[in-house]
């Protein structure tokens, strides 16, 4: 058995760098591993309002960090799901919610799957997921995903949820926590990367003149990919033919203090892309994700400001470029790409931190299984690539399913044939009224997204036959209005969002 890496050098701070530093220090600090994170004072942190998937909860649990410790420090809020207005023009499906799923969904949410199958086979059953899941109703009422205490003291059902936060503040919080775990911090800029004959990274030559060597190097240098791309020459596979968006504009705006804080992300379709609105405890984070092939940055900013109105009249806009795709090998030689350096799938389903966390955790597990050798390097790369491709399919499906016709952008997305065989098969089985359960099962864990998520996406976009027949079977089916009525009553048993956040301080 080889020993754990004795020296790990992380190039780049931000959320990716400090997440990696914490996970590695937490796991291998007991082996005597010394971790140094180097970041340049010349490269700023974006620090936009950002969302997560529920998987981030496991990150903090692994580090032993309580929500009341990190959330107030990062202006964080709770996230029950994502609302998608204006992606579809189908009557009754102009917006839908991709919820996080809870125990309370079993009785009412189960009816959604029945109705969705009936409707895709030609019967006029209500099947918009925003009417059938408690998370959607909690977001509608601006509730936190936590029950009020029961009078009899009995435990409440479990709920699933994610977070919104200021990514710059989260990076700063994780930095301080990493220091507690013994991580060293160095402000410097990489001037040159020296390689060994076998292609490993030997050392970094810094602007200060220092030489930094290590057993393992983690590239968290962002889209530049200073180590994995530039030094090692790892090829980058662009997703440009599948996901057209390559730019974003971020503008903050103030919260309406007269209302409770929303507990969902909103992803609203505009003419050349979509706008995120992420509620923090201190402000909204807003941003327009768009394709520069279809609209200029100047016109995109005008569209965003028109959409947000007077709330951003005096707010500065930041223009960002995105490199959408992934490297072929995330772990090459003695270098691991993490975060934007390894790849990025646009922000639509808030998967960026999930991919960072998943990559580092799987790396740790396979390194230990391989007795700290590179025995499982190829397996690791296949595993991470499978995850990227699975997320790509789910995100690309949103664009393929849109029914807007107000711009070349949306028409081109709908007509785009550059989708995987897997996604094409999923759409075909759904459209033909086939055995959708068997279709999803046939793809196994390559889908990445679970069964309810695929139902919510396809049904939520109104992907149903045009000529529907009245439901003729004798048993009753639950209408959307009936489902909403039941959920409205249930949601009254939950905390208000702002009140719960205040109770954490």
Q: What pLDDT score was predicted for residue 106?
A: 86
From 93, 101, 20, select the one nearest 59 (Cα to Cα).
20
Q: How far apart are CA 18 and CA 1, in angstroms?
A: 28
Angle ∠(167,173,177) on CA atoms, nearest 5: 140
Q: Distance (Å, rounded) from C-alpha 169 to C-alpha 475? A: 53
Pairing mode, if any, of strands 201-206 and 211-213? antiparallel
473: pLDDT strictly greater than 90 = no
Q: Sorting pLDDT into bands at 50, 70 and 90, what band is 454?
A: very high
| CA 260/CA 162 separation, integer angstroms | 18
pTM attached to this predicted model: 0.95
Q: Which residue has the tokens 């490297």?
A: 327
d(CA 77, CA 498): 9
39-43, 165-169, 396-400, 418-422, range with the lowest pLDDT: 39-43
Q: What is the mean pLDDT of the segment spanning 72-80?
A: 97
Catalytic residues: 79
3-state secondary structure of 61: helix
Contact 111, 483 (CB under 8 A): yes
- List pLDDT tens digits, range 239-287: 999 999 999 999 999 998 889 999 999 999 999 999 999 999 999 999 9
Sole residue written with tokens 């990489």: 190
**Which residue has 């768009």 as its token pair?**
290
Dihedral (CA of 181, 182, 185, 190) sign: negative
What would the two tokens of residue 196 be?
A: 């060994």
For 104-156, how does the pLDDT look when each residue is reduced to its tens digit (9 = 90+)?
Answer: 888 899 999 999 999 999 999 999 999 999 999 999 999 999 999 887 777 88
Nearest to 315 by CA among 286, 291, 292, 288: 286
* Direct distance between the N- and C-terminal alpha carbons of the chain, in angstroms, rounded to an integer: 47
User: For the segment 184-207, what is each residue's pLDDT rounded down to a tens digit?
Assistant: 999 999 999 999 999 999 999 999
Which residues have CB under 8 Å from 45's CB, separation 6+?
13, 14, 167, 168, 171
CATH fold for domain 246-321: Alpha-Beta Plaits (3.30.70)
Identify the band that residue 470 occupies on the pLDDT scale cut at 50, 70 and 90: confident
Question: Token match 């057993």: residue?
Answer: 215
Of residues 44 and 409, more confidence is placed in: 409
Count the Cβ atoms, other than its own, within 10 Å of residue 441: 11
**Pair 381, 331: CB distance under 8 Å:** yes
- Is residue 25 a contact partner of residue 178, using CB atoms and an 8 Å limit? yes
Per domain, the residue ranges of the chain are 7-54+164-241+323-390, 246-321
**Sheet with 318-321, edge to edge strand ranges:** 95-99, 81-85, 265-270, 273-279, 284-290, 247-253, 318-321
Name the CATH superfamily for 7-54+164-241+323-390.
FAD/NAD(P)-binding domain (3.50.50.60)
pLDDT value at 488 more than 90: yes
CA atoms within 13 A on the CB side of 1: 7
Length of the chain: 505
d(CA 78, CA 375): 40
pLDDT, tens digit, 9 for 90 and up, residues 345-371: 999 999 999 999 999 999 999 999 999
Q: Does 1 score more than 60 pLDDT?
A: no
| 474, pLDDT greater than 60 | no
Q: Pairing between strand 77-79 and 162-166?
A: antiparallel
pLDDT for the residue 100: 95
Q: For residues 220 and 353, is the Cβ–Cβ distance under 8 A?
A: no
Residue 284: strand pairing partners: 253, 279
Residue among 340, 457, 339 at smallest CA distance from 394: 457
Give the residue-averaged pLDDT of 13-38: 96
Question: Using N-to-C axis directions, what is the helix angle for 377-401 and 421-431, rounded to 10°?
Answer: 40
Share of the chain above pLDDT 90, in %: 89
Coil, strand, or helix at residue 38? strand
């Amino acid at each position: 058995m080889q020993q754990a890496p004795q020296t790990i050098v992380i190039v780049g701070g931000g959320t990716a760098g400090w997440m990696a530093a914490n996970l590695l220090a937490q796991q291998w600090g007991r082996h005597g591993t010394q971790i140094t994170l180097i970041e340049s004072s010349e490269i700023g942190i974006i620090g936009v309002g950002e969302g997560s998937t529920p998987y981030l909860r496991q990150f903090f649990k692994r580090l032993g960090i309580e929500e009341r410790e990190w959330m107030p420090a990062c202006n964080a809020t709770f996230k029950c799901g994502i609302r998608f207005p204006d992606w579809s023009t189908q009557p009754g499906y102009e917006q839908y919610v991709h919820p996080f799923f809870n125990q309370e969904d079993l009785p009412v949410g189960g009816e959604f799957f029945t109705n969705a199958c009936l409707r895709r086979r030609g019967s006029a059953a209500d099947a918009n997921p925003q009417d059938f899941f408690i998370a959607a109703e909690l977001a509608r009422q601006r509730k936190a995903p936590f029950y009020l205490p029961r009078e009899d003291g009995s435990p409440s059902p479990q709920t699933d949820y994610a977070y919104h936060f200021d990514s710059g503040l989260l990076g700063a919080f994780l930095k301080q926590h990493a220091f507690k775990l013994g991580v060293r911090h160095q402000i410097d800029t990489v001037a040159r990367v020296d390689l060994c004959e076998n292609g490993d990274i030997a050392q970094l030559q810094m602007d200060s003149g220092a030489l930094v060597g290590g057993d393992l190097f983690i590239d968290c240098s962002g889209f530049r990919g200073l180590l994995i791309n530039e030094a090692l020459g790892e090829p980058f596979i662009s997703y440009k033919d599948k996901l057209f968006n390559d730019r974003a504009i971020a503008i903050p705006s103030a919260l309406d203090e007269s209302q409770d804080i929303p507990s969902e992300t909103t992803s609203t379709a505009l003419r050349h892309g979509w706008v995120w609105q992420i509620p923090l405890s201190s402000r909204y984070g807003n941003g327009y994700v768009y394709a520069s092939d279809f609209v200029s940055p100047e016109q995109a900013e005008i569209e965003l400001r028109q959409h947000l109105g007077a709330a951003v009249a005096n707010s500065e806009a930041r223009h960002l470029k995105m490199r959408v795709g992934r490297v072929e090998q995330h772990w090459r030689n003695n270098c691991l790409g993490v975060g934007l350096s390894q790849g990025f799938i646009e922000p639509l389903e808030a998967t960026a931190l999930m991919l960072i966390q998943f990559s580092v955790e799987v790396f740790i597990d396979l390194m230990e299984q391989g007795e700290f050798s590179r025995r499982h390097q190829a397996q690791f790369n296949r595993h991470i690539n499978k995850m990227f491709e699975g997320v790509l399919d789910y995100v690309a499906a949103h664009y393929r399913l849109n029914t807007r016709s107000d711009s070349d952008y949306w028409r081109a997305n709908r007509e785009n044939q550059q989708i995987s065989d897997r996604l094409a098969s999923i759409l075909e089985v759904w459209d033909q009224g086939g055995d959708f359960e068997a279709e999803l099962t046939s793809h196994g864990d390559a889908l990445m997204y679970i069964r309810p998520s695929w139902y919510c996406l396809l049904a939520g976009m109104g992907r149903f036959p045009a000529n529907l027949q009245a439901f003729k079977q004798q048993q009753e089916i639950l209408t959307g209005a009936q489902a909403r009525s039941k959920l409205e009553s249930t949601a009254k048993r939950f905390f208000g969002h702002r009140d719960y956040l205040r109770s954490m301080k």
